[in-house]
Amino acid sequence: MVDLTGEPLHILLVEDNEAHAELVIRSMRDQQVANRIHHVLDGEKALDYLFSRGAYTDPVQHPRPNLILLDLRLPRVDGLEVLKTIKTTPDLLRIPVVILTSSDAETDIAKSYDYHANSYIVKPLDFKTFTQLMKELGFYWLGWNTKPSGD
């Protein structure tokens, strides 16, 4: 899948659980939802990626994502803090951030929307349902969703 300009689409997956990350990556690749999925294991690495710091300074290897899939329970920097930083940074705030977490706690949902998450999804436990969700999620945010020009 490419955007309307023919550019490849990129997802930044911020997930500390390797098994969950592998399910997301495999599901999206099987459905050819994104050209490239960039996976980081904690909130600090997510911010380094987004701000082109440390190991993520090469914009060819680590381009600006078209979509961020963000878990909440992360080591080093919590997912809510990552979200808050993204949505208060002018160069990043238009990147859609989808919270993809196992938490269905009302406080997590409310805080995520308070910090301007674009969507909040509780990970399904069933593999087939999870795979279908990843397909639909990718097609919606990367294919069907309309963004302002220049993003």
What dihedral do alpha carbons 24, 30, 34, 40 form, nearest 10°? Answer: 30
**Closest to 25 (Cα-Cα) out of 130, 145, 144:** 130
Looking at 3.40.718.10, 3.40.50.880, 3.40.50.2300, 3.30.360.10, the CATH number of the domain 10-141 comes to 3.40.50.2300
- pLDDT tens profile 31-80: 665 578 999 999 999 999 999 999 999 999 999 998 999 999 999 999 99
**Closest to 50 (Cα-Cα) out of 34, 68, 37:** 68
Strands 36-40 and 10-14: parallel
Amino acid at 95: I
The residue ranges of every structural domain in the chain are 10-141
Indicate the pTM of the whole model.
0.88
